[in-house]
Structures are given as C-alpha cells and as structure tokens.
Amino acid sequence: MKTERRSVLKKLFASVVGVTGIAAVANAKGISSASEKEAGNITNFQDVPLFSGHTIHNGLVYIAGKGAHTDPFDIKSHTEIVLKELEKELIKAGSSMEKVLKVTVYLNDIADYKGMNEVYKGRFGKKPPVRSTIAVAKGGVPGDSLVEMDCIAYL
C-alpha cells in the first residue's frame, strides 16, 4: 500500500513539475496564459459590441470571417475581395499574409472550388497555411457573398 501511494505521489509530483516547467518557459518567452485578449476593429449593434474584426491573444491573431457583398457576383471577384479584406485586417492587427497559420474557407457552392483556388493560390507566400474548405448549403454564407474566409496568424 505504501509503495503504491509513493508511486502515485511521484507521478503527481512529476506532473506538477512538468506543468510548472512549461509555465516557466512560457513566461520566459513572454507568453502568459493569464494575459488579456485584445479586440480590434469592433462592430457594434444597437450601441453594444457585437464582434471584433480581429482578436489578439498570446501572440496569435484571430481574424473574423470576411465576405464580399458586392458586384460582380462571381467567385473569382468575391475571392479577390475577401483575400484583400483578410490582408487589411491582418495588417491592422500587426501581422501579414505570410504569417497566417490556418485558413477556413466557406463556399456557398462547391462548384466554385476551382475558381476560388485560382485566385487563392500564392497569396500566403512560399509556406502556405493549412486550410479547411467547407461547402455550406445554398444561402449558408451570410449576405450575398459567394465565399467567406477567416484565419489565424501569429504576430
């Protein structure tokens, strides 16, 4: 029984030391799990904050979904508009297209996949981010946009 209890205590101690060590490394690098998030480019609805264009936390920037709600209504034009909006928001947050780690693409119609890719390719530098592409049901992308994208980047 004593041997079993010692074994459990040793494992517990090792876990605590491991977590403490990770926290010490994070703090040494200026990363704190207790840091406040920083919201930017806030959109209000009825004078109440609704959502941010971007949020910064622990050296990462999260960009809200961007869509295109204007003529011409074709996938290539809308993809171009959306990518430019992502880039503007990244710059406002202090990042860039080359620092993007993850992109999520929402297509109103899977038939637009090829056209979207034609405009998308090469926009994130020589080391492109990972990407998920989701075709939503017709009308699933808000407003009149044929495509919406959000992303996560580092500062």
What is the average pLDDT across 135-150?
89
The angle, 0 to 180 degrees and rounded to 10, between the axes of the packed helices 75-93 and 113-120 is 40
Banded model confidence at residue 43, pLDDT cuts 50, 70, 90: confident
> How many angstroms separate the CA atoms of 64 and 142, rounded?
13
pLDDT at position 56 is 97
Nearest 10 degrees: Cα torsion 18, 155, 83, 43: 90
What the block records as the tokens of 56 is 């910064």
Torsion of CA 105, 38, 90, 154, to 10 degrees: -80
What distance in Å separates the CA atoms of residue 155 and residue 51, rounded to the nearest whole number?
Answer: 21
Mind listing the pLDDT tens digit for each residue in 59-90? 999 999 999 999 999 999 999 999 999 999 99
Fill in the amino acid letter for 68. A
- Token pair listed for 10: 């040793």
Q: What is the pLDDT at residue 8? A: 45
**Can you give the pTM of this predicted structure?**
0.75
Task: Flag whether pLDDT at 24 surpasses 80.
Answer: no
**Residue 88 near residue 149, CB atoms below 8 Å:** no
Say if residue 94's pLDDT is above 70.
yes
